[in-house]
Chain A
Amino acid sequence: MPLNIDWQQILLHLLNFTILAGGLYFLLYKPVKDFMAKREQHYKEIDDLAMQDRTETAQLRRAAQEKYDAMSDEIALMRSKASDEIEAEKARMLGEARAEARRILETAGKTADMRAKKALADSNEQIREIALEAVHKLIINDGSALDQFLDAAESESHNA
């Protein structure tokens, strides 16, 4: 054969390579590929779990945000309600205070009138007492004057 081609040796090479290929497949290629696939699966599972966690977290976050928004609305409503109530309370208290002030003023006016009247009466009484005292003193100190007065008053009544 040209180039020393020998079919028997080709078959021997073929046999040799087949044994080698089979051996390498079972001893090296398959175990390494299996391990790599296993590792890939492991990391894929971790990745899936992480993705699932991320989705759950996003859902929780969305729910929390919704709750927060609802609570914010509620707070705003409550704040507005409280503000109205405060305003109403303020108005009520102001009205009451005004009424009280008016009442106090009226009472004070009445008291002042009473006190003024009482003071006038007291003054009149004092004046009368002072006058009586003065007259009494005059009578005690000079009896004729009283008699003269009485005589004069009697004669005038007779004349009349």
Chain B
Amino acid sequence: MKQHKKGLIIWLGIVTVLLVLTFVVGSPGEHGDVQAAMRDAVLHDMNRISLFGLKEVNPALISAMTVSAILLIAALLIRILVIPRFSYVPGRFQLALETVVSTLDGMALIKEPGRISFVGAYVFAAGVYIFCGTLFELFGFQAVTTAGHSIALPAPLSDVNAAICMGCMSYLAILGGGIRHAGMHGFKATLKEFSLPISMSFRLFGALLSGLLVTELVYHYAALSYVLPVIVGIMFTLLHALVQAYVLTMLVGMYYHEVTEKPESKPQKAK
């Protein structure tokens, strides 16, 4: 009990010192413009990163590539080290892996359960990408911009280009599934939902961007940098990752289910 009190006093002392130091030191003037930070978060027109010296791109593209590389390496390691040791009575990790695969696969609302389908695989990849991509911003990987500044890499989908890519890919997956399973009817049903790529893209972009803006805003002011980031930075991001992955996969599954439904034959009218 006595030790607990001692620890608490030390912790409170450190917090107080840091708080005082924060106000004494102040923040640099040139990074203090919140409007510029917000504008850059939306448009990515200030901080750009060189892609292997070929082209200046938005930081989110670098984030997307990093996330993909991490995921592929992790998948490769799992494939080599874990999957060959799978047993009929699963361990914790196997169970977690199977749960992720079957949950995301189940989101696809595939009509022949147990069968590997293109949409199931797409939903799995999209779900994992959105979830891990959103969590990626938590780690604050640093990159150097073409202007020489160091920035923390954002979530890939906070870039409108990435969101458009996901929206279009989702639409194409639905279209492909519709044509494969319902033929011309599926094709027509998917074309009817012509606004789907736009709505999906901007839903994803808006959701991710709003999270980014709130986080940016919170971190921008020193006074808000205590306690609040724990909730905003971590809890919001976690929740966000889960919700966005769920929303997109659910939408894809739902639309896929809708367009692959075969039309009920109308009863013939008695002459």
Contact = CB atoms under 8 A, between A and B. Distances in A.
Same complex? yes
Interface of A: 3-6, 8-10, 12-14, 16-17, 19-21, 23-25, 27-37, 39-40, 42-43
B168 A23 contact: no
Contacts of A31: 79, 83
Interface in B27-77: 42-45, 51, 55, 57-58, 61, 64-65, 67-68, 71-72, 75-76
A34 B84 CA distance: 12
Given A13-B162, A14-B165, A25-B121, A32 B57 contact: no
Contacts of A40: 114
A36 B55 contact: no
B102 interface: yes
Decide if the interface of chain A is mainly helix, strand, loop or mixed: helix
B64 A13 contact: yes
A24 B168 CA distance: 19
Interface of B: 42-45, 51, 55, 57-58, 61, 64-65, 67-68, 71-72, 75-76, 78-79, 83, 86, 88, 97-98, 101-102, 105, 114, 116, 120-122, 124-126, 128-129, 156, 159-162, 164-166, 168-169
A3 B97 contact: no
A33 B61 contact: no
B101 A20 contact: no
A28 B55 contact: no
Nearest to A39: B88
12 contacts: A10-B164, A12-B61, A13-B159, A20-B72, A21-B129, A24-B124, A29-B116, A29-B120, A29-B121, A32-B83, A33-B120, A40-B114
A9 B164 CA distance: 10
Contacts of A30: 116, 121
Contacts of A20: 67-68, 71-72, 125, 129
A41 B44 CA distance: 51
Nearest to B129: A20
Given A20-B71, A27-B79, A28-B78, A13 B55 contact: no
A34 B42 CA distance: 42
B129 A13 contact: no
Contacts of B68: 16-17, 19-20, 23
A16, A25, A29, A37, most chain B CB atoms within 10 A: A29
